[in-house]
Amino acid sequence: MNTHTEENRARLQLWWSRLAAMTAKELIQFGRDTLLLLAIIYLFVFDTYMAGNVSMQLNNAVVVVHDADHSAASRELTYLFRPPHFKLGGEVLDNRAGQRLLDQGKALVVLDIPPDFGHDIKKGKPVAVQVQVDASNTVLGSLASSYAAQIIGQYGFDQALARLGVSERAMQNVPMIRDEHRVWYNPNQKDAWFMPIAELLTVITIMAIMLPAAAAVREKERGTIEQLLVSPLTPIQILLPKVISMTLVILLGTAVSLFAVMHLIFHVPMKGSLVLFFAVTALYTFTTAGLGLYIATLSRNLAQVAMLAILVLMPMIFLSGAWTPPEAMPAGMREAMLLSPLYHFIEMGYGILLKGAGLDVLWDSLLSLVLLGIVIFSFGVWRFKRQFG
């Protein structure tokens, strides 16, 4: 009995020693690959830094004015379109000149003030002001249209109060609804808190698929896969070290991106448990690594890995909510999002880092990720063992 137990213990020690040796071998090979090292540094450092400098807000949008009135009232309205949202780009002589600037992309807004604007305002007559907006970029176009409507509406309201002789103090005694809203988790609504996290989670996805696939295909290109197959190693002992080593690399890159870029430069808060975040990241890396292993079985070289990875990555990203809010998608696509591991990873990433949420809140996302991970990773392992077993 003791002999049988000792034999099992010896086999287990041998199994783990081989796994550790192969993992160290994968890390050494990765350290010798200069291009992959540069790619890791670029994606986890410079790419997330650039994402933090990207703003979806309306800043310094160029406004050109066609002022057919040239009165004090028209000048007052014109100069309300000021930074940070707008900046004046000059005056045009007619509507056609403004339309050309919109077509050429040299202006985002054309403000058209009609003749007798100031005279009609003084007389209390209704006046129509035309605002033309370039909405080829729907986000900026919608923001520009909304801000312009607010500016013109507030100007008309102020003029009406002035004509009625109602002071600001008197307005405080008028029954009215006051909008007092509170913004949680990102009170200043900084894009520098949202964009780097979204980019980091996307980068983790790319690397979790590409690195294990690249490591496996590199064995094919160098002809070392045959040497591994005739060794005492099992297919699991060949593929697991690739996933484990690449997971360690991704976790290291994630730590550098979190602490050296997002927290140090953009002051992104980390309200939740970092241990939980890194544990979820490791789980997610194993989940998507199954896709990488499957891609490796279909590819003969790194070029094919890159092309097949694009076919897998794009649907995952589009169905993740990173680029498009789920509420803006058709019903069928919203249901398909549940099959994207990145969707659940983003839910947990933002929940942990910005909201400080724990497993009591995120358990359903974690359960979905675990179930998807079992299916995807098992499929990748099955395909790998079928080809190389």
pLDDT of 224: 67
Instruction: Please give the Cα distance from 140 to 152 (Å, whole number).
Output: 18
pLDDT of 254: 93
Instruction: Please give the Cα distance from 378 to 23 (Å, whole number).
Output: 20
Q: Mind listing the pLDDT tens digit for each residue in 307-317?
A: 888 888 888 88
Query: How many C-beta neighbours within 10 Å does residue 164 have?
Result: 10
pLDDT of 168: 62
Query: How many C-beta neighbours within 10 Å does residue 88 have?
Result: 15
Q: Where are the alpha helices (DSSP H) in the chain?
A: 2-32, 34-41, 48-52, 72-78, 95-104, 117-123, 138-164, 168-171, 191-222, 225-229, 235-256, 264-265, 274-298, 302-318, 331-336, 341-353, 359-388
Torsion of CA 140, 145, 146, 150, to 10 degrees: 140
pLDDT of 44: 92
Task: With H, G, I as helix, E, B as strand and everything else as coil, classify residue 301.
Answer: coil
Domains of the chain: 21-54+188-388 (no CATH), 61-171 (3.40.1710.10)
Q: Which residues of the chain have pLDDT under 50?
A: none
Task: With H, G, I as helix, E, B as strand and everything else as coil, classify residue 89.
Answer: strand
Q: Mind listing the pLDDT tens digit for each residue in 157-182?
A: 888 777 776 666 666 666 777 777 78
CA-wise closest residue to 276 among 194, 353, 383, 173: 353
First to last CA, the chain: 32
Task: With H, G, I as helix, E, B as strand and everything else as coil, classify residue 62.
Answer: strand
Q: Mind listing the pLDDT tens digit for each residue in 82-135?
A: 888 888 888 888 888 888 888 888 888 999 988 888 888 888 788 888 899 988
pLDDT of 128: 86
Strand order in the sheet with 61-67: 86-91, 61-67, 109-113, 130-133
155 CB burial (10 A radius; 0-12, 13-18, 19+):
middle
The pTM is what? 0.81
